[in-house]
């Protein structure tokens, strides 16, 4: 099901959350449903509006994957127009040439790859662990298992880590296409049985910093969940496996109902290593305490999947974030999906969606 090719849909990129998320969702839905879009006021809610390098590369890779036409795609541009063609698999590359997030490139390109005609390999360069974006570790350890509940997945290989300000990281993603996305029912969070994670340093930073982050996070988590298994490992990136110096920590909680929730923090000059570990642990505990089945990062990422799934999906979450509200608005604007928020309490909700049952009409090859 799609709109006539002549129907151009206008989207205000400054509404609600007002950031790059609107652009990524608009491009992905445009490609999936073959709907031309014009996005104006791009990133109007940010201190430096318009396309930055990572946003431009995301737009360009979707254009390449669809063979579509693209107008206005330049650094600083506040308006683009995109007319998608048919999604084709193959090998595609994108390089932010900055520390721009590889994780955000995946958010726009992955849905397209899932509905291509054959296996897609994405060779992405930029920052693997960046501020204001999911760390690549989160994408593989929390989002990928969640994606598998919807009947899809991807393989990956980290060629090199890249940290702010240099970037220079490289990740390869291999995506097998699907015929459709399955609906999910995730309304029982269950009991936390295991918490694990990894604290890392790279470049000139000492391994001691990673050890302090790991110990700090472990103490916080064990205090709140003394009966859960807690294991956070510190490690140092080999010199040939990272560009620049960086540090951070990722922590994950697993429940007996199969829910995975994440928390993370990156090292900063103004933060002690102990504070970084504590920050990541507290972020994770905030999601766990709401009884959610997905954390705040995944909450808005599942909206696209719910919208195109073949049936009704229900996902329990914490407070509905502005990012999620924005994602729902764009999904309803560009599809016939219908969303509903069921309020369970002050910090607990269920997101319901009647998906559009998008079908991959390509002659799919998964070899």
- CATH number of the CATH domain containing 174: 3.65.10.20
Indicate if the pLDDT at residue 367 is higher than 70: no
Measured distance CA(154)–CA(36) in Å, rounded: 27
Angle at which helices 322-334 and 20-33 pack, to 10 degrees? 30
| Residues recognised as catalytic | 323
CATH number (domain holding residue 56):
3.30.110
Q: How far apart are CA 37 and CA 15, in angstroms?
A: 16
User: How high is the pLDDT of residue 4?
Assistant: 43
367 domain residue, yes or no: no
Q: Quick: pLDDT tens for 315-348.
A: 999 999 999 999 999 999 999 999 999 999 999 9
| Alpha carbon distance 146, 316 (integer Å) | 13
The whole-chain average pLDDT of the chain stands at 94
Determine the Cα–Cα distance for residues 58 and 102; give it in Å rounded to an integer.
Answer: 10
* Beta strands at 229-236 and 185-186: parallel, antiparallel or unpaired: unpaired
Give the residue from 65, 86, 107 where a domain finishes.
Answer: 86
Cα–Cα dist 51/59, whole Å:
9
Q: What is the pLDDT of residues 171-198, one digit of tens each?
A: 999 999 999 999 999 999 999 999 999 9
Overall size of the chain counted in residues: 367
> String of b and e for 38-60 (b: at least 16 CB within 10 Å)?
bbebbbbbbeebbbbbbbbbbbe
If we measure between CA atoms, which residue out of 78, 97, 312 comes closest to residue 186? 312
Do 276 and 357 reside in the same domain of the chain? no
Q: What is the pLDDT of residue 164?
A: 87
Decide: helix, strand or coil at residue 353: strand
**For residue 6, what pLDDT is reported?**
55
| Helix intervals (H) in the chain | 20-33, 53-66, 102-114, 136-138, 144-149, 207-224, 273-289, 296-308, 322-334
d(CA 125, CA 159): 10
Q: Of 210, 36, 227, 37, nearest to 129 (Cα)?
A: 210
Q: Which of 125, 206, 189, 207 is nearest to 161 (CA)?
A: 125
Judged by DSSP in three states, 140 sits in helix
Q: Are residues 274 and 303 in the same domain?
A: no
pLDDT reported for residue 131: 84
Beta bridge partners of 201: 236, 247
pLDDT at 308: 98
pLDDT of 5 strictly over 50: no
**Is residue 43 located within the same domain as residue 94?**
no
Q: Do residues 76 and 7 share a domain?
A: yes
Total tally of structural domains belonging to the chain: 4
Q: Which domain holds residue 276?
A: 192-289
Residue at which a domain ends, from 271, 289, 307:
289
Q: Are residues 358 and 274 in the same domain?
A: no
- If you search the block for the tokens 């979707």, which residue do you land on? 62
Both 94 and 167 in one domain: the answer is yes
Could you tell me the pLDDT band of residue 214, with boundaries at 50, 70 and 90?
very high
Say whether pLDDT at 113 is over 80.
Answer: yes
Residues 42 and 120 in one domain: no
Minimum mean pLDDT range among 71-80, 177-186, 248-257, 326-335 = 71-80
d(CA 321, CA 132): 15
**74 and 110 together in one domain:** no
Q: Which of 160, 169, 159 is nearest to 133 (CA)?
A: 169
């Amino acid at each position: 099901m799609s709109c006539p090719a002549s129907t151009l849909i206008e989207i205000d990129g400054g509404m609600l959350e007002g950031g790059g998320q609107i652009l990524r969702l608009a491009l992905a839905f445009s490609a999936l449903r073959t709907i031309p879009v014009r996005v104006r006021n791009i990133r109007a809610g940010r201190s430096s509006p318009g396309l930055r390098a990572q946003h431009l590369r995301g737009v360009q890779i979707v254009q390449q994957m669809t063979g579509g036409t693209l107008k206005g795609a330049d650094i600083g541009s506040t308006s683009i127009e995109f007319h998608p063609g048919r999604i084709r698999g193959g090998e595609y590359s994108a390089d932010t040439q900055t520390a721009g997030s590889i994780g955000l490139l995946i958010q726009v390109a992955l849905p397209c790859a899932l509905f291509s005609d054959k296996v897609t390999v994405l060779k992405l360069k930029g920052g693997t662990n960046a501020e204001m974006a999911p760390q690549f570790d989160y994408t593989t350890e929390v989002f990928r298992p969640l994606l598998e509940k919807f009947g899809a997945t991807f393989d990956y290989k980290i060629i090199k880590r890249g940290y702010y300000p240099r970037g220079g990281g490289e990740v390869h993603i291999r995506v097998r296409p699907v015929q459709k996305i399955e609906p999910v029912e995730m309304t029982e969070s269950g009991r936390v049985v295991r918490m694990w994670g990894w604290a890392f340093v790279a470049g000139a930073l000492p391994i001691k910093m990673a050890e302090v982050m790991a110990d700090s996070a472990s103490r916080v988590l064990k205090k709140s969940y003394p009966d859960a298994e807690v294991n956070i490992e510190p490690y140092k990136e080999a010199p040939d496996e990272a560009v620049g110096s960086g540090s951070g920590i990722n922590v994950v909680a697993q429940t007996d109902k199969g829910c995975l929730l994440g928390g993370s923090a990156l090292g900063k000059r103004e933060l002690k290593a102990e504070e970084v570990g504590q920050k990541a642990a507290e972020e994770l505990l905030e999601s766990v305490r709401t009884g959610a089945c997905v954390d705040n990062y995944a909450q808005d990422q599942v909206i696209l999947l719910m919208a195109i799934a073949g049936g009704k999906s229900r996902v329990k979450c914490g407070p509905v974030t502005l990012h999620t509200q924005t994602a729902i608005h764009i999904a309803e604007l560009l599809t016939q999906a219908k969303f509903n928020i069921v309020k369970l309490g002050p910090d607990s909700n269920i997101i319901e969606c009647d998906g559009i049952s998008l079908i991959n009409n390509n002659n799919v090859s998964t070899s």
